[in-house]
């Protein structure tokens, strides 16, 4: 094969590759504009145990905004929670109030140290309404708590202080 034919063949291959790439880019652009590559909608926690939502609300309404702390970390509190014997999840609102400037790891446990749930990092405004339990419980009333382990929102999640929110867990 002569040099000229080899050169012409290279040019044809290069032009073909350029045309294929241009068509591919055009198709991708059209599909993107039509929404084929739109991000998945954020999952909502309705009916799904342990799903973290980004617009978690404590469920409390501010009656008097003047009583709200000027600074510091807000920790959700509980008085009681109920579930049925043998349930594998607990309906309890665990989350990090959106006003906070730190992250939380939440640990649900009994006073005897039995750990029932440990969350992923909860950034401000993130939380869940129902958590999966590591074990089932028998009928009775238990002293329980949510331990909030506070961390900085840096790459290392530098540990800060922790806070406990105690409550009665009633198993029917």
Residue 59 counted as domain residue: no
CATH number at residue 81: 2.60.40.2550
C-alpha neighbours within 13 Å on the C-beta side of residue 121: 13
pTM (two decimals): 0.63
Q: Which of 56, 67, 62 is nearest to 126 (CA)?
A: 56
Domain range for 16 is: 1-38
Q: Are 24 and 85 found together in one domain?
A: no
Residue 15 has which token pair? 């032009």
Tally of domains within the chain? 2
Residue 56 counted as domain residue: no
Q: Are 82 and 136 found together in one domain?
A: yes
Q: Tell me the pLDDT tens digit for each residue of 24-62.
A: 777 777 766 666 555 544 444 444 555 767 777 665 444
Residue 67 predicted with pLDDT over 80: no
pLDDT score recorded for residue 22: 81
Lowest mean pLDDT among 5-19, 54-68, 140-154: 54-68
Q: Are 92 and 26 found together in one domain?
A: no
């Amino acid at each position: 094969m002569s040099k000229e034919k080899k050169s012409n063949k290279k040019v044809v291959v290069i032009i073909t590759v350029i045309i294929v790439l241009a068509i591919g880019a055009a198709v991708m652009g059209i599909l993107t504009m039509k929404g084929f590559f739109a991000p998945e909608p954020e999952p909502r926690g309705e009916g799904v145990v342990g799903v973290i939502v980004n617009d978690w609300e404590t469920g409390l309404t501010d009656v008097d905004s003047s009583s709200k702390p000027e600074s510091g970390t807000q920790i959700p509190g509980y008085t009681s929670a109920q579930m049925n014997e043998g349930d594998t999840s607990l309906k309890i609102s665990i989350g990090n109030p959106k006003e906070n400037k730190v992250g939380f790891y939440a640990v649900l446990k009994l006073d005897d140290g039995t750990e029932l749930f440990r969350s992923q990092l909860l950034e401000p405004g993130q939380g869940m309404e129902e958590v999966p339990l590591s074990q089932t419980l028998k009928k009775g009333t238990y002293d329980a708590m949510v331990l909030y382990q506070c961390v900085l929102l840096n790459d290392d999640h530098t540990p800060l202080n922790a806070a406990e929110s105690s409550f009665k867990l009633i198993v029917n």
